[in-house]
Amino acid sequence: MTQHEVGVLAGRGKTGRALARALRERGARVRPLGRADLDRLDPALSGCTAVYLMAPNLHPDEPALVADVLAAAQRVGVDRVVHHSVAAPYTPSMPHHLGKARGEDLVRRSGLRWTVLQPCAYVQNLLSGLRGDEPAVRVPYDPDRLFGLVDLADVAEAAARVLLEDGHEGATYELGGPRPVSARDVAETAARVLRRDVPLQRVPTDEAVAAAPEAEREWLRAMFEYYDRHGLPTGGLVLRALLGRGGTPLAATLARELGAGDPAAGPSATGR
Ligand SMILES: NC(=O)c1ccc[n+]([C@@H]2O[C@H](COP(=O)([O-])OP(=O)(O)OC[C@H]3O[C@@H](n4cnc5c(N)ncnc54)[C@H](OP(=O)(O)O)[C@@H]3O)[C@@H](O)[C@H]2O)c1
């Protein structure tokens, strides 16, 4: 049996660590790759059975990064590539989504055996505000807009399956959670999980982007403006098919991540 060894770009980031866990649980070896590996991609990828092609968050030139990795994979003979894109990549008003759309195009024309994953925003993105003494959901967009918020652990499990199993060549999979949820649903569900009030607050965009590096602020503003108007609805049936079970309900993700019991508190415990 093949001993899989997967080179994971941005492998020490939030997504990379979750994927590494899922791959190791399935007996695969993982090679997390970071900044220092970009200047030595050939040795970094040499001997891998697959590459997980993932740019770091808000990378300024994702297509160039994707092109470099594809070229190196071709040179050293790694012919299976899984591209970590995003839900709704062709969204011209969000430049970092557009970078992923261009990346997808490069992947499809690479001549390698490819699969594209399009995850929605993770539930985990909202956790920092829910930890600590005064948990709250604070977002710079309409709190009633709907998103296919997905559990990062589910995305990682789906990615590991696609990397290690056959049958996914030439597929593009959108990965949304089990049902559409809003920031208001997250606050209400967190309140049940934590058994306390969890205020929901809309914050000014300037405040939300203030901690980000200057170079990222414009793209973040564009993203929040889009979210404010449209949310980011994303279907959950593909994830269900890949995992052989429904995606993890919002209440269960929050309970696990916040170290609380799953309240299974009535019909609305999973959001809508
Ligand atoms: N968060 C979400 O809800 C969501 C949803 C869908 C898709 N995504 C996508 O998922 C991807 C991963 O996001 P993430 O937040 O998990 O990643 P992340 O935490 O930003 O990734 C950090 C990793 O990226 C590496 N890195 C940082 N700057 C780099 C550079 N200039 N060149 C090469 N590598 C660099 C770091 O290298 P070192 O190890 O050297 O520090 C580290 O391994 C992004 O493309 C994001 O758009 C995210």
pLDDT at residue number 268: 39
pLDDT at residue number 260: 83
Q: Could you give the C-alpha distances from 253 to 112, 117, 173, 247, in angstroms and in order?
A: 35, 21, 22, 10
Q: What is the pLDDT along the chain (272 residues), one digit of tens a residue?
A: 679 999 999 999 999 999 999 999 999 999 999 999 999 999 999 999 999 999 999 999 999 999 999 999 999 999 899 999 999 999 999 999 999 999 999 999 999 999 999 999 999 999 999 998 999 999 999 999 999 999 999 999 999 999 999 999 999 999 999 999 999 999 999 999 999 999 999 999 999 999 999 999 999 999 999 999 999 999 999 999 999 999 999 999 999 999 987 666 444 333 33
pLDDT at residue number 270: 36
Structural domain includes residue 254: no
Query: How many angstroms separate the alpha carbon of residue 265 from the centre of ligand 1?
Result: 35
pLDDT tens-place string over residues 180-214: 999 999 999 999 999 999 999 999 999 999 999 99
Structural domain includes residue 49: yes
In ligand 1, the atom with minimum distance to the C-alpha of 14 is 16
**Would you call 136 exposed, middle or buried from its count of C-beta atoms within 10 A (0-12, 13-18, 19+)?**
middle
Q: Which of 31, 33, 35 to mutate to test the pocket of ligand 1 (most atoms within 8 A of CB)?
A: 35
Q: Which of 8, 9, 14, 15 to mutate to test the pocket of ligand 1 (most atoms within 8 A of CB)?
A: 15
Coil, helix or strand at residue 75: helix
**Contacts for 124 with CB less than 8 Å, ≥ 6 apart:** 14, 151, 152, 253, 257
* Domain assignment of residue 18, given as a range: 5-120+151-176+234-248
Query: What's the structural domain count of the chain?
Result: 1
- Exposure letters 178-214 (e unless 16+ CB within 10 A, then b): bbbbbbbbbbbbbbbbbeeebebeeeebeebbeeeee
**Contacts for 125 with CB less than 8 Å, ≥ 6 apart:** none
Give dist(CA 37, CA 52) in Å, integer.
14
Check if the beta carbon of residue 52 is closer than 8 Å to that of residue 112: no
Query: How many angstroms separate the alpha carbon of residue 191 from the centre of ligand 1?
Result: 30
Q: Could you give the C-alpha distances from 267 to 139, 189, 195, 228, 272, in angstroms and in order?
A: 25, 11, 16, 27, 9
Structural domain includes residue 212: no
In ligand 1, the atom with minimum distance to the C-alpha of 36 is 40
Structural domain includes residue 88: yes
pLDDT tens-place string over residues 131-166: 989 999 999 999 999 999 999 999 999 999 999 999
Structural domain includes residue 126: no
The residue contributing the CA closest to ligand 1 atom 13 is 57
Structural domain includes residue 106: yes
Question: CATH code at 22?
Answer: 3.40.50.720
Of the CA atoms within 13 Å of residue 203, those in its CB half-sphere come to 15
